[in-house]
Amino acid sequence: MLRPWSPVPIEDNGEPLIALPAELLRLEPHPYAALGAPYGQAGCPFRLRQGVVERLLQAQDALQQQHSWRLAVFDAWRPLAVQAFMVEHALREECRVRGVDPQQASPERAAVAAEVGRFWAPPSADPATPPPHSTGAAVDLTLAGPAGALLTMGGAIDAIGEVSEPEHYASAAAADPSSPAADWHRRRRLLQEVMVAAGFCQHPNEWWHFSHGDQLWAWRSGTPRARYGRWAGDGAGAVAVGNGIS
């Protein structure tokens, strides 16, 4: 399934993938590793391109100027094998929730696959259409209090459905500014504001997903070319894979 940003050309700038610094809270154990996702020799998932890490720190500084809250990183770089594992996991889990047989072709299964596809990018090995997380440009994150306890945001990260859309609670918040929904909306807006101010763009379907430098970011920001392609390999042997378009 092609995304609106899939045609954006990529000219990878070669920035390294680096570990998140201690200033940024990580959700550990890593949620996908805990499910058995095959990271293998790929290394720690809590890594991003250098320029993306710098912008994350900017976002956290801006957040802490307003609150004592912190950013809490759920997921960062994701190799293709993990992307494939998680797409299949999400499909099976959503089929289970809806009482649909994931092994049997049916209109119901097709509907589940289409809904899952709104949130999970295909694990494409084509350099022209890398999943956002495979580039080291995308990060899934939420807000935490000063002691590291996660704040309620009105929906879990990776939830399938309208509840995950960034503005899902806007109407409820307007109708009753003192409601829990209003709190969730304000927190989502605050996360969005500090991330956008630091140069990120938000996924249109996911309140938790932001990126800088990938195709989605280029499409949403009106930038003619993406700065980061898929990051392949591990350790010193890792390479950035562009789509060859100049």
Per-residue pLDDT at 6 exceeds 60: yes
Distance CA 60, CA 198 (A): 9
Q: Does the pLDDT at position 206 exceed 70? A: yes
| Residue 189 located in a structural domain | yes
Give the whole-angstrom CA distance, residue 97 versus residue 111.
13
In a domain, 8, yes or no: no
Res 83 pLDDT > 90: yes
For 112-126, how does the pLDDT look when each residue is reduced to its tens digit (9 = 90+)? Answer: 999 999 999 999 999
Mean pLDDT of the chain: 93
Structural domain contains residue 124: yes
Condensed to tens digits (0 to 9), the pLDDT of residues 232-246 reads 754 333 455 555 432
**Does residue 69 belong to any structural domain of this protein?**
yes
Has residue 246 been placed in a domain? no
Residue 184 in any domain: the answer is yes
The pTM score is: 0.93
Which pLDDT band, with edges at 50, 70 and 90, does 188 fall under? Answer: very high
Residues 21-46 have a mean pLDDT of 92
Number of domains in the chain: 1
Find out whether 194 and 63 touch, Cβ atoms under 8 Å: yes
Give mean pLDDT, residues 57-72: 95
Provide the residue range defining the domain that includes 71. 17-241
> Would residue 114 count as lying in a domain?
yes
* Positions marked active-site: 206
Q: What is the pLDDT of residues 124-135, one digit of tens each?
A: 999 999 999 999
CATH number of the domain that 107 lies in? 3.30.1380.10
Is residue 9, in this structure, part of any structural domain at all?
no
> Would the pLDDT of 1 be above 70?
no
Rounded Cα–Cα distance for residues 86 and 233 (Å): 19
Euclidean distance between CA atoms 94 and 100, whole angstroms = 8
- As a whole number of angstroms, the distance between CA 44 and CA 30 comes to 9
Residue 43 pLDDT > 90, yes or no?
A: no
Q: What is the pLDDT of residue 202?
A: 98
